Chain A
Amino acid sequence: MHLLEVENLTKRFGGLTAVNNVSFNVDEGEIVGIIGPNGAGKTTLFNLISGFLQPTSGTMKFKEENITGLAPHKIVNKGIARTFQVVRPFRHLPVIANVMVSMKSPRGARKIEWLKTHERKALDLLEDVGLSELMLEPAENVGHGDLKRLEMARALATEPDLLMLDEPFGGLNPLETDFLTKSILRMHLDEPSRGIVIVEHKLYALMKIVQRVIVLHQGEKIAEGKPEEIAKNKRVIEVYMGKGM
């Protein structure tokens, strides 16, 4: 079953076509990478799927349900969570509260119970991404690498069926990149039915974890396939390196 189906998605900003007629699927339990040079429309595609932008034309289906044109919070509640390229922490809240904010609060449950069970869940999530020692620190005192992982914990707290990571390795040193790669893979093993979409520049880190790669160039999909195939694809090399190679 396809988890996410994107069909002929187009977004125009005035005369500029940022995303042009892009179609692709994400299956259950699949890790898909979206790559492309700067300005290829990767982040716009992300914003379209997560509802922050409305598409000019085209449809998106999630679990065979049309989600085109829904508000961002509704899409999150359907089960699609995303992170941001530039970290967006809640600066005044402690790290653990950052995670707790994005947890669903069941109606009718007693508040104390809610706090207790959810604090435990939040702590588990923080432990998964290696932030449990910083749990009471206000997010404004936390370093950039840790905030990247906090973003991921926060997205996971919404219990998504599809997780979309926007440049998760951006601005991380090799050590942090390695740690994050491992935690993404571990997360994949923990919840094998969850689909993951990763937009990334750092091809080296990305190619190791994804099962399928989609290449965008100037808003259009130019290639799709296994990482090894993509690495040999002439058109892709042309786009990244220029002609005459």
Chain B
Amino acid sequence: MVTTHFRRVYSSFTSHVFDIPPRLLALLLFVILLCVPITRPTPSIQGMLIDTFFIAVLAVSWDLLVGRSGQISLGHALFFGIGAYGTAIIYKFFGLPPWVTIPLAVLIGVSLSLPIGLPCLRVKGPYLALVTMALPLILTPVLAWGPITPITGGEIGIGPLPSLIPTEFWEGLGFGFRPALQMVKLANYYLALALLFFSSIILYKIANSKTGMVLISILDDEIASKACGIDVTKYKLVTFAISALFATLAGATYAHVVTIVNAWFLSLTVSIIPVILTFLGGIGTIYGPLIGAHIYYILDRDILKRVLEPFMTSTQLSYIKPIIFSVIVIILIIKWPRGIARFVTDKLQDLEEARDIEERGKWIWKVYKKKKKA
């Protein structure tokens, strides 16, 4: 009796704290994405989705940092850029393959995140946001500074970098020149998808472990969590480092996909887009930014383009589309401030509760009828 009681409590507890429906949603998304290159083998759509995957990794890692531990960072591009420049500079001077340079770049990014994080995390709220926003903006002119341009490539950047799996490999397997190029793209697509899959699973696991619970407590009330015996600084730093790890990994890998590294990797756009994606999908959920990223990019580059194309020329399109797109995103965020993904899971949970109530009602009706007979 007691054990069944506990089991019921435990299952309802896990479904509250570690919500299950999003797991199915995310899995469905990954299955669809696995099939995309087969069902729609257009290079433009593949390219669009590859971009989406990398920005999604960035957004998910941002969500762990901000949505969970409440450390507002508006400079996530810093680590994206460190990853990209790290792998590019190592390649430039040592000529190592991407499989070696990417882990090295990640190592650099994570070890830099601690000295960067320690002073940054002493300030809070909007001040932290401003400090973090400034960091990549400071780094940009530094990289273009005359004496070090031989290392960083100045404003032109560093390139071309080798692809993750180079054309020579495919040509060695007996592909012609054009099919080999296509295979490079396809390999990029699946490698990026795998990166997204594994990093979001790892981040989701972290966010829903006891560590995640502690992070929410820090977000809610730092003083009270100190009084609970939690080493707040340690947790904040570790979260910062984990977030930096995935951001550098995304940056370094993306550098080998676009095969050129320049100041764009450190730009404000790269810092801000994860923020929009996270709010669009649902902050603090981890799966939210994942879904938000796909909605954002597919809406921007595919759906809107197709809807508007019959009505206007391409120049008109390039001016009008951003306006319409921005308005739609603003409306979505105002309509569902807790995020689209949360809206869906809330609806699913409501359905589940309604079903529970219905079952209970049926049961009561049964007992009532029995009593009437007797």
- Report A's interface with B, CB cutoff 8 A: 50, 52, 71-73, 76-77, 81-84, 88-94, 96-98, 100-102, 104-105, 111, 114-116, 119-120, 123, 135-136, 154-155, 157-158
Contact = CB atoms under 8 A, between A and B. Distances in A.
B229 A89 contact: no
Given A97-B17, A101-B214, A76 B220 contact: no
Given A50-B227, A76-B229, A100 B213 contact: yes
A16 to B, nearest CB: 22
Nearest to B224: A88
Nearest to B214: A101
Contacts of B17: 94, 97
Interface residues of B, number: 26
Contacts of B232: 73
B226 interface: yes
B224 A96 contact: no
Contacts of B16: 94, 136
Given A93-B213, A101-B228, A123-B9, 5 more contacts: A73-B229, A90-B225, A96-B13, A116-B10, A157-B228
Nearest to A91: B220
Contacts of B210: 100, 105, 111, 114-115
A77 to B, nearest CB: 5
Nearest to B10: A119
B115 to A, nearest CB: 21
17 contacts: A52-B226, A72-B226, A73-B226, A73-B230, A73-B232, A81-B229, A84-B223, A84-B227, A90-B224, A92-B216, A97-B17, A100-B213, A102-B230, A105-B210, A115-B210, A155-B227, A158-B229
B227 A89 contact: no
Interface string B204-239: 000001100110110111011111111110000000
| Majority DSSP secondary structure for residues of B touching A | helix
A92 B13 contact: no
A29 to B, nearest CB: 22
A98 B223 CA distance: 14
A157 B225 CA distance: 13
A157 to B, nearest CB: 8
Contacts of A90: 216-217, 220-221, 224-225
Contacts of B224: 84, 88-90
B12 interface: yes
A112 to B, nearest CB: 10
B368 interface: no
A190 B111 CA distance: 48
Contacts of A91: 220-221
Nearest to B15: A136
B93 interface: no
Chain A CB count within 10 A is highest, among B217, B226, B227, B232, for B227
Chain A CB count within 10 A is highest, among B10, B224, B230, B231, for B224
B94 interface: no
B311 interface: no
A136 B226 contact: no
